[in-house]
Amino acid sequence: MDSQRMVQFLFALLVLVLGFLCQALSNEGICQTKKTCPEYFLIDTPNKDFETRLYVETLWITTPIKSKQVFEVMAAHNRLKHFCDRQTAQGYPMPDGWPVLITVVKVADTMNANMSWFVPNKTEMAKTSDTDVWLQTRPRGYVYVRAFGGMATFEASKENVEKLQDHLTKAGKSFVANHFSGATYNSSWALNKYNEIWITAP
Ligand SMILES: *[C@@H]1O[C@H](CO)[C@@H](O)[C@H](O)[C@H]1NC(C)=O
Ligand SMILES: *[C@@H]1O[C@H](CO)[C@@H](O)[C@H](O)[C@H]1NC(C)=O
Ligand SMILES: *[C@@H]1O[C@H](CO)[C@@H](O)[C@H](O)[C@H]1NC(C)=O
């Protein structure tokens, strides 16, 4: 995996969606040919407020983010990085998958967050005794997406979650407001960053 990758804290919501109409498979705009990203189908014609996607079932390596502090976000990044380094050392190099996904569940005043790196299907991995990094399946499902540029700081992410939430409310979509998730697609040194807020649905 890309050792240069650094992650900022992001946010998103879990949403309930009803009804869909499948269109073309389309992740090329975001990932082009240079990046390995999860596959999805575009459900709605993109509008300026948000996009609706249907993601296939996907595999991730996941680790907890123990607090909102930047050093804990970095610590999570480093655990995933070291996991990949150990896999490589055992002869199983990990593909450079994108995005970096941060999922947050807020219950009362407590936030529970995980950081995940996308792992393409059929990636061969060595068995590990790791307890802090695990393989996680994200089920097939619908996601509302709002894109934004610049640094995905906690504040910028929160602001974009609220905007997306407003747009969804106006569009008549219902959602659960305590489940946030977000995605970054660029290394820390990239000037022209691309980020997304994801609000998933059953
Ligand atoms: C950041 O990632 C987006 C999405 O993959 C890509 O379109 C853009 O070119 C990247 N920016 C840089 C500077 O690499
Ligand atoms: C990966 O595997 C899952 C589960 O079998 C499947 O649903 C998904 O379509 C696969 N993804 C790709 C890109 O083939
Ligand atoms: C983090 O991952 C663990 C194990 O899969 C799960 O139990 C927990 O709910 C996840 N937390 C979030 C915020 O997604």
CA of 127 to the centre of ligand 1 (A): 33
Domains of the chain are 27-200 (3.20.80.10)
pLDDT at 103: 93
Does residue 136's CB lie within 6 angstroms of at least one atom of ligand 3? Answer: yes
Distance in angstroms (rounded) separating the CA atoms of residues 39 and 24: 11
Does residue 3's CB lie within 6 angstroms of at least one atom of ligand 2? Answer: no
Rg (CA), the chain: 16
Binning pLDDT at 50, 70 and 90, where does residue 155 land? confident
Q: Is the pLDDT of residue 5 over 90?
A: no
Q: What is the mean pLDDT of residues 48-63?
A: 93
pLDDT at 191: 73
Does residue 139's CB lie within 6 angstroms of at least one atom of ligand 2? Answer: no
Per DSSP, helices labelled H in the chain are 28-31, 70-89, 154-170
Distance in angstroms (rounded) separating the CA atoms of residues 163 and 167: 6
Residue of higher predicted confidence among 82 and 2: 82
pTM: 0.84
Please give the structure tokens belonging to residue 34: 């240079």
Lowest-pLDDT range, 12-21, 40-49, 116-125, 190-199? 12-21
Contact by Cβ (8 Å): 120, 36:
yes
Q: What is the mean pLDDT of residues 87-115?
A: 91
